[in-house]
Copies of this chain bind each other. A is one copy, B any other.
Amino acid sequence: MTAELISVGTEILMGNIVNTNAAYIAEQLVRLGISVYHQETVGDNPERLYETLECATNRADLVIVTGGLGPTQDDLTKETAAKVCGKGMHEDAKAKQMLIDYFDQLGRGWETITDNNWKQVIVPDDSTVFYNYNGTAPGMVIPAENGSKIILLPGPPGELVPMWETSVVPYLSNLNNKVFYSKTVKIDSMGESGVETAILDLIETQTNPTIAPYAKPGEVHLRVIAQADTFAEGEALVMPVVEELKRRFGNCVFTTEEEVTMEEAFVDLLHKYRLTFSTAESCTGGLLAGRLINVAGVSDCYNEGFITYANEAKMKYLGVSAETLEEHGAVSAECAKEMAEGLINATGADVAIVTAGLAGPGGGTATKKPGLVFIGCCVKGHTTVMRYQLTGNREKVRNGAVVRAIAQTRHCILEQFA
C-alpha cells in the first residue's frame, strides 16, 4: 500500500510555519508498513490543490492531507477534496454538538464562537468522520471514484496527533496486511560519520533488515527495519542486528526504542539507580531543566534548580568564590566545578549538572570564543568537568550544550553504577 502526503497551507508554502505534521505522519506510516514516496506542499489555492489532489489520487492508495480545515476564509481543503471525489456536502450533527461543547468548556477561553466556525461541521457525503476531541475541525475519509481514499486531518499538531492515534491508526490497520518491525538504536557523544564508519560492513551487506542512520543535534539514530509477515518474524530479523550495534557502541547507546527520547532515557537511569538530580544553568538558562522536566514522572527525582545567569547568582546560591570568577572567569572549568559541587551542597541532590558557557554572539575574547561551554557534573561526590567548543548561533550553542550535558552526566552515572 502506498500513501502520499499533501500539506495544505500558504503559511507552510511561504515558510511562516514549519511542517511538523509531515514528519509525524510519515513516521507513523512507516511503522504501519505503508510506503511514502512523495510529500508535497501546496498553498491555500483551490486550483493548485485540486490538481495536486487529482494527481495524488491517481498514483497512491491513500492521500493524506493536513491543514485547511479551519474556520478561516482561506481554509478550502474539504470543499476541494469533495469536488475531486464528486461528492456533495452536509452538516454533521455530532460535529456540531461537539463544537458547541468545545467552546463551553474553554472557560475564560481565548476564542469566542464567531460565525466562521460553523463551516467546520460541514462534511462531504459518504465520508467517514473522525471527531476532534482537541479542537474544532473534524477529520474525515472521503472515498474517491477510483477506489483511492482521501484522508483529511486538521493542521494543528495537538489535534492531529490524538486524532491519528485514536481514529486513523485503527482505520488504516484494517486496510493493510504487511508488517514492518523496527528498532532505533540511539547513540550520543559521536558524530554521524564516525558512527557510519564503525558500521560500514553492516550497511554494505544489508538487505532485510536495513539500517538507516540519521543525525540530530548531539545524537545519531540507527533505525533497523525489517519487513515480515508477522511481528515475531520481524523481531527475529531485527534483534540480532540491534545486539551487534549495542556491542559496538557500548555506553553511547542510550535507548533502542523509537519513542524514547534522550531525556527520558536519562530520567529512566536516575529512577533505576534511585538518584535525585538538580541543575544550575548559566548559558543554557533553564533549557536543560526545561527539557528534562518534560519527562512525565520526573518529580520523583527532581525537586529544584537554579538559573545562575549573573556572577552574583553563582556566588549567592552555589558558593562559587569571587577569586575563581576573578581569576578564571565564569566560563571556566574551575567555575563549573565549583558550581557543580556547590549545587550538591545547596540541594542535597545525588547528581548535579551545571553549564557555564559563552552562547554568543557577543562576549568573546582572544582565548574564549562564543560557543565555548564548560559542563560540570557531580555524581555521588565525583565531579567531572568537560570543555566543548560548539559552533552555530546562540540558540544552537545553547541547545547543543543541553544535549551534551545530558550525555556527559549519563556517561558519568554509568561509569560509577553500571
Contacts and interface: CB of A to CB of B under 8 A. Distances in A.
Given A15-B30, A16-B23, A71-B196, 16 more contacts: A14-B223, A16-B27, A16-B212, A39-B41, A70-B193, A114-B193, A281-B286, A286-B288, A286-B293, A290-B290, A294-B394, A294-B398, A296-B359, A304-B306, A304-B310, A306-B307
The number of chain A residues touching the other chain, given as a range, is 35 or more
A306 B392 CA distance: 28
What number of copies of this chain does the assembly contain?
A: 2
A345 interface: no
Contacts of A25: 15
Contact of A72 (B10, B213, B287): B213
**A-side interface mostly:** mixed
Which are the 3 A-B pairs with shortest beta-carbon distances?
A15-B27, A285-B293, A15-B26
Interface of A: 9-20, 22-30, 36-43, 48, 70-74, 105-112, 114-117, 134-135, 157-158, 161-162, 189-194, 196-197, 203, 212-214, 216, 221, 223, 279, 281, 284-294, 296, 298-299, 302-310, 312-313, 316-317, 359-362, 387-389, 391-396, 398
Given A134-B392, A309-B305, A40 B38 contact: yes
Nearest to A27: B15
A362 B294 CA distance: 13
Contact of A13 (B36, B71, B310, B387): B36
11 contacts: A12-B26, A13-B37, A14-B36, A15-B26, A16-B212, A38-B41, A111-B193, A112-B194, A114-B197, A286-B293, A305-B309
A174 B162 CA distance: 47
A27 to B, nearest CB: 3
Nearest to A213: B72
